[in-house]
Amino acid sequence: MSTWNWVFAIFFLISVLCSVTLSDSGPIAQQKLDQVKDLPGQSFNVDFAHYAGYVTVNQESGRALFYWLTEAVQDPASKPLILWLNGGPGCSSVAFGMAEEIGPFHVDKDGKSVYLNPYSWNNVANLLFLDSPVGVGYSYSNTSSDLMSNGDKRTAADSLEFVLNWLERFPEYKGRDFYITGESYAGHYVPQLSQAIVRYNKANAGSPINLKGYMVGNALTDDYSDHVGLFQFMWAAGMISDQTYKKLNDVCNKESFIHPSSECDHMTDIAYQEMGNIDPYSIFTPPCSTNGITKRLLRRWHNVGQIGQSYDPCTEQHSLVYFNLPEVQNALHVYQSNSKSRWETCSNVVGMYWKDSPISVLDVHQELISSGLRVWIFSGDTDAVIPVTSTRYSIDALNLTTISPWRAWYDDGQVGGWTQKYEGLTFVTVRGAGHEVPLHKPKQALTLVKSFLAGISMAPFEQVIEPRASALEEVSGF
Ligand SMILES: *[C@@H]1O[C@H](CO)[C@@H](O)[C@H](O)[C@H]1NC(C)=O
Ligand SMILES: *[C@@H]1O[C@H](CO)[C@@H](O)[C@H](O)[C@H]1NC(C)=O
């Protein structure tokens, strides 16, 4: 070999070494490592890829958020990306969103296997589930005091950091149509994260986040409206006495939902005693067991109202078994050393020590509506935790102009619920659904997300949603 050839060979070797090193440690290589092959107890094949793992959102404290991405069943490259958030504060999007609501993998009764949810929203979009903030689900912080200092502001900032860092690992989603959805206390998270993104995008030209809109269901929105609507719903459904109704209005209306006074707490306990052993998250379906009442009251009202908690503690129990299995945690790339000794569907510590929680997010909605985002609010109308009446009062407080008046919408020839279209906001109720709409009415929930993504109103009669209809609607403003 000539000297020249030696130089060439060494140069070649160095560049190969460099590229190997880069691809081994770079974000794209991490994407490959995050791919989930098979889940324990999965007896069927799936046509979509899915990925799970951690994204660091704060290096100094060592905060990392756990995500699970399930791509769309068909042609994921052409489908939008939906981020789903559960509430609590403290409840896991894996436990609820994935395992019993919109996700493709639902956990079986034995707690050891999964089955395919035919109404999964990954029929129409790529789904990104995020356990947020730290201390929730598999998400963690290496600074243990972080778990006791969570609040709305840091949750939004960390979630924005998550989205930006996640897009480095999944660059194929940069610039993709992006939507944020969630329920319950995510009525705070979803608009707050949307606001953080809109502000980030204004300050950073060429931002990779192409946020198009957001949708929240049975969402905590405005503490005053939510309280007035809640007590009215409890009273009108015949669950509480006239006297308790009056006292609740006297004592609680001006209180914070997440940090109520002890008088309001006490009054709420009385209301729950009057209601008896029903499931407040779904008032017309049976609760899991008849002996759980004391525990439920304590958990719900003394531990800062776990608004995101499942309506059916039995369903929740299956997840509790499954996601604690070491083989499941291995399959999902959960760091054993960092995860808590026991995985929980909702973290009491996170909920109990929750810091900042503004009494209203109506101002955030207003800012985002005027920024031109697509904003939809839905409500399962048999929920007595954040009922349809609460959401109606909240929307009313926004003083929006009505574009299309209140009317029924249909699904399979049945009234699926009611809807009203305002300037900049669409409201949809889902008839007979509780707090977790996709759990109780999975088919109607899929119809809802299809309409939301297409940007067209819920069907006024039996009709198929065609992409062409969406273009028509934009022209006519219907
Ligand atoms: C947390 O600490 C562990 C052990 O030192 C480390 O492996 C991990 O990378 C840290 N996590 C973050 C997000 O910094
Ligand atoms: C809505 O209108 C009422 C009455 O005019 C007003 O008091 C309130 O501040 C308005 N709300 C918003 C969010 O603009």
pLDDT grade for 92, boundaries at 50, 70 and 90: very high
Residue nearest to atom 1 of ligand 2 (CA): 399
Q: Which residue has the tokens 């031109």?
A: 372
Which strand (E) or helix (H) includes residue 191? helix 186-203
Residue nearest to atom 8 of ligand 1 (CA): 62
DSSP state at residue 38: -
Which pLDDT value is given to residue 314? 77
Distance 400 CA to ligand 2 centre (A): 10
- Which protein residues touch ligand 2 with a CB less than 6 Å away? 362, 397-399
Q: What percent of the chain has pLDDT over 90?
A: 79
- 308 vs 70, more confident: 70
From 142, 333, 337, 340, give the residue whose CB has the most ligand 1 atoms within 8 Å, as the site to mutate. Answer: 142
Q: Mean per-residue pLDDT for 345-371?
A: 96
Which pLDDT value is given to residue 153? 98
142 lines ligand 1 (CB under 6 A): yes
Distance 399 CA to ligand 2 centre (A): 6
144 lines ligand 1 (CB under 6 A): no
Distance 156 CA to ligand 2 centre (A): 27
CA distances from 132 to 88, 136, 211, 256, 469 (A): 10, 6, 19, 22, 36
Which pLDDT value is given to residue 342? 85
Residue-wise pLDDT for 305-342, tens only, equals 344 444 445 778 899 999 999 999 999 999 865 555 78
Residue 388: is its pLDDT beyond 70?
yes
Copy the structure tokens of residue 475.
Answer: 């022209």
Phi/psi region, residue 206 (left: phi>0; alpha: psi -120 to 50; beta: rest), is: left
Among all ligands shown, which has an atom nearest to the Cα of 337?
1
Residue nearest to atom 5 of ligand 2 (CA): 399
> What is the atom index within ligand 2 of the atom nearest the CA of 399?
1
Among all ligands shown, which has an atom nearest to the Cα of 396?
2
> What is the atom index within ligand 2 of the atom nearest the CA of 363?
13
Cβ(373)–Cβ(214) under 8 Å? yes
Among all ligands shown, which has an atom nearest to the Cα of 58?
1
Among all ligands shown, which has an atom nearest to the Cα of 62?
1
Q: Mean per-residue pLDDT for 344-354?
A: 93
Residue-wise pLDDT for 119-145, tens only, equals 999 999 999 999 999 999 999 999 999
CA dist 278 and 240 (Å) reads: 12
pTM: 0.89
- 188 vs 8, more confident: 188
**Omega before residue 89 within 30° of 0, cis:** yes
Burial of 20 (0-12, 13-18, 19+ CB in 10 A): exposed
Of 52, 182, 41, nearest to 106 by C-alpha is 41
Domain residue spans in the chain? 1-26, 223-232+240-312, 378-436+449-476
Bridge partners of 51?
35, 69
Cβ(391)–Cβ(427) under 8 Å? yes
Which pLDDT value is given to residue 21? 46
For 441-445, which contacts have Cβ atoms below 8 Å and span 24 or more sequence positions?
441/380, 441/416, 442/117, 442/118, 442/119, 443/119, 443/411, 443/412, 444/411, 444/416, 444/417, 445/101, 445/102, 445/119, 445/121
Distance 142 CA to ligand 1 centre (A): 6
Phi, psi dihedrals of residue 361, rounded to the nearest 5°: -115, 15
Residue nearest to atom 11 of ligand 1 (CA): 62
Which pLDDT value is given to residue 336? 67
- 453: amino acid identity, one letter: L
Q: What is the CA radius of gyration of the chain?
A: 23
For residue 159, the tally of other CB atoms under 10 A from its CB is 24
SS3 of 217-268: ECCCCEHHHHHHHHHHHHHHCCCCCHHHHHHHHHHHCCCCCCCCCHHHHHHH
CATH code at 378-436+449-476: 3.40.50.11320
From 399, 401, 425, give the residue whose CB has the most ligand 2 atoms within 8 Å, as the site to mutate. Answer: 399
Distance 396 CA to ligand 2 centre (A): 9
Tell me what the pLDDT averaged over the chain comes to: 88
Q: Mean per-residue pLDDT for 140-161?
A: 96
Positions marked catalytic: 184, 383, 435
SS3 of 106-163: EECCCCCCEEECCCCHHHCCEEEEEECCCCCCCCEECCHHHHHCCCHHHHHHHHHHHH
Residue-wise pLDDT for 435-446, tens only, equals 999 999 999 999
Residue-wise pLDDT for 258-302, tens only, equals 899 999 999 999 999 999 999 999 999 988 764 333 323 223 333
The distance of Cα 115 from the centroid of its chain, to the nearest Å, equals 21
Distance 362 CA to ligand 2 centre (A): 11
> What is the atom index within ligand 2 of the atom nearest the CA of 366?
13
* Residue 212 DSSP SS3: strand
